[in-house]
Structure 1
Amino acid sequence: MEKVVSTARLKSDPVGRLLIDDLQRNAEALRLENAVLYYDFPLFRDYEEELYQPAVFILHPEKGAVVVSVPDTAFDIAKQDYLLDEFHNLLFAKLLASRRLRSGKNALKLNITSILFLPHDFGVENYSGENIAVGSLDGLRAAIASIEIRPLANDDFLEARSVIEGVKALSKAPARETDLDDSKPKALVLRKLEDEIANFDAHQRRAALTVALGPQRIRGLAGSGKTIILAWKAAHILLTNPDKKILFTFYTRSLYEIIRKQITRFYRHFRDSDPNWEQLHVLHAWGGRREPGVYYNACLDHGITARTFNRAAPMSFDAICADLVGRAALMHKYDVVLVDEAQDLPDSFFHILFQITKGNRDEKTIIWAYDEFQSIFAPRMRTPKELFGIDDDGAPRVDLDRSAQKLGLGEYLSNDLVLYKSYRNPLNVLVCSHAIGLGIYGPQIVQMLQDREHCEDVGYVVEQGDFSTGSDTVLVRPQENSPLAVLQYENPAEIIKLCKATKFSEELDWIVAEAGSLMSQGLRADDILIICLDDMNAKTYHGALAERFSAHGVGTHDVLNNPFAASTFRSEGRITLSTVHRAKGNEAAAVFVAGIDAVAPDLRGRRARNRLFTAFTRTKCWLRVSGLIPTADGLFNEIETAINLSPRLHFSWPDVANVETIQRDLSGRQAKAKRLHSDYVKQMTELGFTEDDAQTWSEGVEKSE
């Protein structure tokens, strides 16, 4: 049975822990092995601000939804009964809104069973409500065992889970034509991918719905859903704690609208209104006179003149933040802080965040998301100690192991979460991107993952190699770690295409023709993103492309020509023209990476390869790469080799002393748990069990011992 503990309230809820432990021990007898058990989730608020939230909620493919409510005291049974009725009604309406889950005009395919748990039989005999009242664990088990079996198809079960968790609202893609047919094959493929993306895997769901007190880190590849997970958390925290002051901050300005929309969609799913933006601040890290930001607002709050970018005397964001920290002791302002793109923000900015977050050292709820393999600026992931610094007593301000021990919920919650799966990129695009980013098939390997464990962390299986210098190494990426099944719908030759142009006009004409072909097959103009890697000539590229597209009646949105709309990346009905830095954090169905000849001479350095990696991994499906030969001949050869060998990376393990090592930081507790779990799953799979079976068994054994 999968467990999702959404809040740290469990620490002070002995009855909740008793219920969870008992249901876990008896999962097999109750036929709940394939169930999902939630604690303090889902939740709804009505117009009167009343919160409806069960203690335990079970979703099962045969028994349906089981809601277990526990009165706070023995004197509020009537109120709890009323709240349980209201929750039942709200849940029924939410599920009924899904066409897939209806079995008639006003009927559902699944049961909803509401149980009022009254410990010590208090009031059970006198209870006259419509819910089931039980007074003991035996009574609860009997009530669950007696539920009528109504098997749900797997797709229906996933739909119910998507509705209950809010994923369906959160992952909502722009509306597309409902009558798509074979005349629009690319649109059909994209719709199937968007439907697939709408159902996250278990690691992502746990990461999103788990809101622990104190610091929490979320790590994963680009496209593993970190931004969405943080948006999910922000809305969830505001729903449960409307009086808390929450900050959501990020590095890439163009993410602003995306983040607000994601938070709003999730919030509306559980409450029919928009978030209170007075309580939840979505702010760019820097900000300025035209738009607020964390740094800029902190200066205003303390009567300090904010520094702005000055070309004559440029000053880094790191230096600007350090200057602010050195000039003032910042006041506590936020109860919760969520940070996206942590890998691109300087340590001094995290020092600001630590100061403006309320609470004692190990209780400051700062949740940050870090890309394992996408920092444009550094080859290693900084530890919490490096990010937040040292406290007055010489100890790290943030220590994940220390916080976990102090908060005491280690068996239910983790404050260091790893996301293994990438949902943005097709498998062969991601493997190709890694090969180019590392320089595996180039003149020399430029950067490398740290060791076997790090390769596994980012979703690879070691097929061959002992990681000694010069050893023949083969890494393979399993399909389940790049779950978008693009190859089921699309010809492999269509996913990645290359244009080796001999002159500039030839490259431009190919881009326009290829984009036109994609649109003729059902893609919209705003499904297409063109990234120019030639920074020196980006405006020339954009101007020439805009002119050519205009001649074909297609509009473009040039992010370089919209300085007053820095937070708007995508424009409906227009092809987006961008540089790689502006594109970072965004994605599109089809991505064109133009002008690769501009970076081809610099492939012995990390910067060029990181730019290529970032550009390639913006695509959800189709990748088009173009540049001038002979300058880009070597790079084109690398790309073709990576495509031909995908899903494998085959190379000689380098002397790590001569390359930049992409390092990872894993807390001691998390590292030990990961090793034990990995060994266990390997043994189970060798016995013929699936990984999901192994996961279910391990959770059952862990709680029964």
Structure 2
Amino acid sequence: MAYFVPGDNFENAGGKAEEIVWKRVKEAFNARNVLGYSKYPFYKSMGGKRREPDIILLDQNEGLVVFEVKGYTINQIEKIEPNNWYLRDCYEKTVNPINQVNDYVYSIISAKFEVEGNLRGKVKGRGLVVLPYISCKEWEDKGFAEITTNWPIIFKDDLTKQRLLYLLLNMDLLKIGQSLTREEFILAQSILGHEGVHVEDEDSFLPEGTKGRVLNDLKTQMLQIDLQQEGIGKSIAPGPQRIRGIAGSGKTLLLCQKAAYMHLKYPEWKIVYTFYTRSLYDIVTRTIDMYLKAFSNGEVCYDPNSNLQVMHAWGGKHKPGLYSSVANENFIKPLTVEDCKKEFKGFVSMGTQINYISKILLENLNGNLKRIYDVILIDEGQDLIAPPEQLYKGQHSFYFMAYHSLKQHDVEGKKIRRLVWAYDELQNLDNNIIPSWKEIIGDDEVLGKGAVYKGGIKKSEVMKKCYRVPHEILPIAHALGMGWFRKDGMLTGYTRKDQWEDIGYKVEGDFRKDNSEIILTRNREDSINLLSDIYNGSVIEFEQFNSNND
């Protein structure tokens, strides 16, 4: 099966050329067992800048293939020597793309595959330079063909499905290897996707059957790459993006991965990762640090003084939060927990409080906020939803504040903002309504129509797979929490087939008919935590008590 991960929407310098090649590569390799990336996050320092390979493929039979795309016209190349290309009318005067792509091949294989005993010496490697704006004839007429005989260069007229695949398969290998078995290919995909960074060192001396050994085996079992997560975590949408799904589906990991990827690619961007639960501070900073190191081959770690900021949604006395930072930037004194206690005179949720203070801020400024940030990523978004009385202009006040604190940027002639928000479905049983896009970002017409942005990145993602909770336990938890078998009817929960399917259930029956029997079955493929397969003990235990004293 072929799966391709678009890193961005090709809006940057050189993006048009890369988009042409990306489309042709996908066409050529679509029928093969391959995992492909545009702008794969493996950053190397070159000439004082951090750069990533334009396109890479991991093919089960052909190993690693790296494409370096150069959008030059023939008139921009003045002269070619074995170790240098001399350019005119370009921001670089000399380049060496052959060495550049070869360096990526050797570095990725060395850093990713050679350190894994089961793959050492097995993964093949090739590097190609692609010139989508130059034909073979133009190259020959300029006299370059004599110098570059047998160089791994692909020209404009080579970018057809059959010819591109033929040329690649017949080019010399930089790294000798072999075709990978199914198990080796799965392992190589997981390593390329940085899945291994999630797992701490295993203790191989733990006895078989013990809970410690089962935990290690469970971690190893879940290492197999999740292709949907790859597509979400290693892509940068040009505008707003919603990530919703069942609790335990890995949304926090994805947002941390996105934050690290964006920071390495655009270190000048001001990026905020914000959340509801204060205890997430350490988890988020450690996870972002882990991804920064993985993506940069150890060159970059998390720096709290950098442009990537981890902030609580509100903030505190000693740590700024998103709300308090926005208030201070707009010369408004932030409200505190004590202010909310005086207002509500009793307990209310923090979600209500933070929307209350956000609404006050917006009213004081008539909704006109200073544009401070380039990207805001909101985790635990389900806990930051406003009650009706705390909406601002029909929108959830905290989200309105976040969205309007973002800088606008040009995408195809439109002004657009990058807000990414993730939330758990059915996490709050008293509120299972999914907020509409209008309630989050308003009537923003810049998004256009359709479910995807240019380049193939989805505007909304639904994550069905649950990693945290074992297959047998999740339906029981939902049944107890929602009162599925309550005599007077279910207390709360979804009442549409598509809603249950979105969180990984198979539905039999019709919700539209009164007193209709509904059968919900948890899809096995959407429950990755298969504890019962590797643990001999009981996964579920029931105890009955006849009285409170028992």
Contact kept, 8 Å, 1:404 with 1:415, in 2: the verdict is no
Contact kept, 8 Å, 1:213 with 1:365, in 2: the verdict is yes
SS at match of 1:448: coil
SS at match of 2:205: coil
Q: 1:262 aligns with which of 284, 287, 308?
A: 287
Equivalent residue number for residue 309 of structure 1: 337
Q: 1:340 aligns with which of 379, 386, 390?
A: 379
CA distance 1:188–1:404, shift in 2 (3 Å): farther
Equivalent residue number for residue 159 of structure 2: 137
Q: 2:547 aligns with which of 606, 630, 639?
A: 630
Q: Is 1:350 aligned to 2:399, yes or no?
A: yes
Contact kept, 8 Å, 1:461 with 1:477, in 2: the verdict is yes
How much has 1:172 moved relative to structure 2?
2.6
- Comparing 294-303 with 111-120, greater Cα deviation is found at 294-303
CA distance 1:51–1:101, shift in 2 (3 Å): farther
CA distance 1:46–1:18, shift in 2 (3 Å): closer
SS at match of 1:177: coil
- Comparing 338-347 with 154-163, greater Cα deviation is found at 154-163
Q: Deviations over 1:372-392 (max 9, x none)?
A: 221355221111211234xxx
How much has 1:276 moved relative to structure 2?
4.1
Q: 2:105 aligns with which of 64, 88, 92?
A: 88
Equivalent positions of 1:271-286 (< 5 A) are 271=296, 272-277=299-304, 278-286=306-314
How much has 1:480 moved relative to structure 2?
0.4
Equivalent residue number for residue 698 of structure 1: none
Contact kept, 8 Å, 2:430 with 2:492, in 1: the verdict is no
- Paired with 1:47 and 1:137, the residues of 2 have a C-alpha distance of 28
How much has 1:14 moved relative to structure 2?
3.9
Equivalent residue number for residue 6 of structure 2: 5
Contact kept, 8 Å, 1:100 with 1:156, in 2: the verdict is no
How much has 1:457 moved relative to structure 2?
0.7
Equivalent residue number for residue 507 of structure 2: 462
Q: 1:177 aligns with which of 195, 203, 213?
A: 203
How much has 1:60 moved relative to structure 2?
1.2
How much has 1:339 moved relative to structure 2?
0.7
Q: Is 1:424 aligned to 2:484, yes or no?
A: no
- Paired with 1:230 and 1:362, the residues of 2 have a C-alpha distance of 24
Contact kept, 8 Å, 2:58 with 2:64, in 1: the verdict is yes
How much has 1:333 moved relative to structure 2?
0.9
- Paired with 2:28 and 2:343, the residues of 1 have a C-alpha distance of 64
Extract unaligned runs of 5+ from structure 1: 390-395, 502-628, 634-705
How much has 1:499 moved relative to structure 2?
4.5
Equivalent residue number for residue 23 of structure 1: 25
How much has 1:482 moved relative to structure 2?
0.3
Contact kept, 8 Å, 2:8 with 2:39, in 1: the verdict is yes
Contact kept, 8 Å, 1:42 with 1:164, in 2: the verdict is no
Q: 1:125 aligns with which of 141, 145, 156?
A: 145
Q: Deviations over 1:419-445 (max 9, x none)?
A: 111111111111111111221023431
- Paired with 1:463 and 1:372, the residues of 2 have a C-alpha distance of 21
**Larger relative helix fraction:** 1
Contact kept, 8 Å, 1:100 with 1:159, in 2: the verdict is no
Equivalent residue number for residue 241 of structure 1: 266
Contact kept, 8 Å, 2:275 with 2:313, in 1: the verdict is yes
Q: What residue identity is the alignment partner of 2:100?
A: L
CA distance 1:320–1:188, shift in 2 (3 Å): same
Equivalent residue number for residue 683 of structure 1: none
How much has 1:216 moved relative to structure 2?
0.5
Equivalent residue number for residue 581 of structure 1: none
CA distance 1:130–1:323, shift in 2 (3 Å): farther
Q: Is 1:207 aligned to 2:220, yes or no?
A: no
- Paired with 1:500 and 1:255, the residues of 2 have a C-alpha distance of 35
How much has 1:465 moved relative to structure 2?
4.3
CA distance 1:163–1:441, shift in 2 (3 Å): same
Q: 2:416 aligns with which of 351, 356, 363?
A: 363
Q: 1:386 aligns with which of 425, 439, 455?
A: 439
Q: Deviations over 1:503-536 (max 9, x none)?
A: xxxxxxxxxxxxxxxxxxxxxxxxxxxxxxxxxx
Equivalent residue number for residue 232 of structure 1: 257
SS at match of 1:92: helix
CA distance 1:382–1:479, shift in 2 (3 Å): same
Q: Deviations over 1:476-521 (max 9, x none)?
A: 1121010222121123x621234556xxxxxxxxxxxxxxxxxxxx
Equivalent residue number for residue 170 of structure 2: 146
How much has 1:354 moved relative to structure 2?
1.3
CA distance 1:427–1:404, shift in 2 (3 Å): farther
- Paired with 1:343 and 1:54, the residues of 2 have a C-alpha distance of 36
Contact kept, 8 Å, 2:9 with 2:455, in 1: the verdict is no
Equivalent positions of 1:396-545 (< 5 A) are 396-397=443-444, 403-405=447-449, 409-410=453-454, 412-443=456-487, 444-465=489-510, 467-491=512-536, 494-500=538-544
The alignment-based identity, stated in percent, is 24
Q: What residue identity is the alignment partner of 2:105?
A: H
- Paired with 1:362 and 1:499, the residues of 2 have a C-alpha distance of 59
Q: Deviations over 1:405-461 (max 9, x none)?
A: 499845722111111111111111111111112210234310121311111111111
Q: Deviations over 1:529-566 (max 9, x none)?
A: xxxxxxxxxxxxxxxxxxxxxxxxxxxxxxxxxxxxxx
Contact kept, 8 Å, 1:344 with 1:376, in 2: the verdict is no
Aligned residues: 486
Equivalent positions of 1:71-110 (< 5 A) are 71-74=70-73, 75=76, 77=85, 78-103=95-120, 108-110=121-123
Contact kept, 8 Å, 2:274 with 2:313, in 1: the verdict is yes
- Paired with 1:172 and 1:129, the residues of 2 have a C-alpha distance of 46
Q: Is 1:324 aligned to 2:394, yes or no?
A: no
Q: Deviations over 1:327-364 (max 9, x none)?
A: 13321111111111111113111111012110068610
- Paired with 1:378 and 1:231, the residues of 2 have a C-alpha distance of 26
Contact kept, 8 Å, 2:68 with 2:101, in 1: the verdict is yes
Q: Deviations over 1:189-245 (max 9, x none)?
A: 111111233334222221112211010011110011111111110000111111111
CA distance 1:442–1:236, shift in 2 (3 Å): same
CA distance 1:464–1:164, shift in 2 (3 Å): same
RMSD: 2.8
CA distance 1:6–1:144, shift in 2 (3 Å): same
CA distance 1:10–1:63, shift in 2 (3 Å): farther
SS at match of 1:58: strand
Q: Deviations over 1:167-195 (max 9, x none)?
A: 222x133x34231222x621111111112
Contact kept, 8 Å, 2:429 with 2:481, in 1: the verdict is no
SS at match of 2:217: helix
- Paired with 1:267 and 1:260, the residues of 2 have a C-alpha distance of 10
How much has 1:273 moved relative to structure 2?
2.1
How much has 1:127 moved relative to structure 2?
4.9
- Paired with 2:206 and 2:150, the residues of 1 have a C-alpha distance of 46
Equivalent residue number for residue 124 of structure 2: 111
SS at match of 2:541: strand
Extract unaligned runs of 5+ from structure 2: 78-84, 86-94, 345-352, 386-395
Equivalent positions of 1:563-582 (< 5 A) are none
- Paired with 2:59 and 2:105, the residues of 1 have a C-alpha distance of 16
- Paired with 2:331 and 2:205, the residues of 1 have a C-alpha distance of 58
SS at match of 2:439: helix
Equivalent residue number for residue 35 of structure 2: 36
How much has 1:128 moved relative to structure 2?
4.7
- Paired with 1:339 and 1:129, the residues of 2 have a C-alpha distance of 52
- Paired with 2:425 and 2:448, the residues of 1 have a C-alpha distance of 22
